[in-house]
Amino acid sequence: MVMMLPFLTAAIALWLALMGKRGACLWLWLLTLIIFAVWCHQHMTGTLPISL
């Protein structure tokens, strides 16, 4: 799991938006969201300390 990956893809998405490439930016954002969701799954499946 490469933790820096969502920052990299988000930075590329932002760069593409600044360069006027809206479609490519949207796809990169979607890829970032997917990576974000997978990374969330990796880090949020433990037990919370609130069980009775």
Partner 1 sequence: MANYSTFQGHPLSRPLNCLALAGLCGVLLFAFAWQIHFNEPPCPLCLLQRAAFAMAGVGLLLNIRFGASPMHYGITIISALGGLFAAGRQVLLHIAPGDAGFGGPFLGLHFYTWAFIAFAALIVFCGVVLTFERFTQHYAPLPRAGFAAALVMWLFLLLTAANALSTTLECGFGPCPDDPTGYLWLSPGPGTK
Q: Is 15 in the site for partner 1 (CB under 8 A)?
A: yes
Q: Is 27 in the site for partner 1 (CB under 8 A)?
A: no
Q: Is 52 in the site for partner 1 (CB under 8 A)?
A: no
The answer for residues whose C-beta is within 8 angstroms of residue 16's C-beta and 6 or more apart is 22, 24, 25, 28
Site residues, partner 1 (CB under 8 A): 1-4, 6-8, 10-11, 13-15, 17-18, 20, 22, 25-26, 29, 32-33, 36-37, 39-40, 42-44, 48-50
